[in-house]
Each structure stands twice: as structure tokens, then as C-alpha cells.
Amino acid sequence: MHQHISITSLALLPAALLAYGCATAAVRDNWPPLPSRLNVVTPYGTLDIKSHGYIYEARLQIDNTEIAPPIEGLLNITYALNLPHAKAALVSINDGSDRCPISFRWVILRSTGYTVSPAFGSCSTRIKVSIKGRRLYLQTPNYQKPDKMDVYIYDGKTLKQRH
């Protein structure tokens, strides 16, 4: 016995396959979108991005003063987190490089000033950020082995990487 498949059923097949593919990809790729803001107002000052004429020349500043060491590039303040007696901001930096287009730095603002972490990351915008006590965590796929995770831990003084 032969089953007849209507033309309408065949026309809907690509859409159904596409929907199924998107649903299964969403299950495998559950990374949150990278948030973006241009400033963070804190009791310790306002952290913001000062734009310049060229897209990769934006600079990070606190209360209209460029921070040191300078952070320059296509910048976004991706996360702002509360710490005891401080505010932490994660800044994404895109320098236009094809090889490793994005890195990150933590900026911690306190009543006594600010600290800036060394640049870090695995060249990916796929990140998950968390906080435990005074430690800031960033989890991201490893650059060379995307099925493995790199975890960066910053305590306001030292940046450590776990594989």
C-alpha cells in the first residue's frame, strides 16, 4: 500500500527541519548573549566609555578621566557586579584583530580608588560570569579545545586560570 504525500506537506518539510535544527542547536548552545552598556554609575565614581572618531579608539574612563593602564578598542561594559564595599565591572575589548578579536578586563572601583586586572580570555564572546564572595569568575570555551572550559578567577589582585 502506498501513502500519498501532499505538495503542502512537502512544502512544510524544510520549515519543520529548520525549526528542529534551531531547537537542537539552542539546547547545545546555551550561552547567554553578551550584555552591553556604555557606563556604570557607582558610589565610587562613574565608569564610562569615551568614544573617539575611529571605532577601535574608544577609551575607558572613571569620572571623565582616562584610567591607567589605558584600555582602548571597541569597548563594552558587559557586567557590573556588587562586591562588599566595591563595584566590579567586566569590560570586553575588541582590538580589531582577526586572530583573537576579544579579551576582557575586570575593573574594581572602591572608595580608595580602582584596580584593573590583566587582559584575559579565550578569544570568545561566549562567557558565563559569576561571583562567589570576593572572587569573580568568568567561564568560557578553551580557544584550542572548544569542548573544554577555561575558568578565570579574579580576586581584585590576582588573576588565575583553571582548565
The alpha helices in 7-103, defined as continuous H runs, are: 7-28
| pLDDT for res 117 | 97
| pLDDT for res 29 | 65
| pLDDT for res 15 | 42
Residue 111 CB partners (closer than 8 Å, separation 6+): 43, 44, 85
| pLDDT for res 33 | 87
Give the global pTM. 0.80
Q: What gap in Å lies between CA 85 and CA 73, rounded to an integer? A: 29
Q: What gap in Å lies between CA 32 and CA 27, rounded to an integer? A: 12
Residuewise pLDDT in 10s, the chain (163 residues): 544 444 444 444 344 434 444 333 333 468 888 888 999 999 999 999 999 888 889 999 999 999 998 999 999 999 999 999 999 999 999 988 888 889 999 999 999 999 999 999 999 999 999 999 999 999 999 999 989 999 999 999 999 999 8
Q: State the Cα angle at 97 between 153 and 137, rounded to 5°.
A: 10
Q: Which of 89, 70, 68, 67 is nearest to 80 (CA)?
A: 89
**Phi, psi dihedral angles at 95 (to 5 degrees):** -100, 5
Q: Which of 133, 86, 136, 135 is nearest to 111 (CA)?
A: 86
Domain ranges of the chain: 39-162
User: What nine digits make up the cell of 70?
Assistant: 589605558
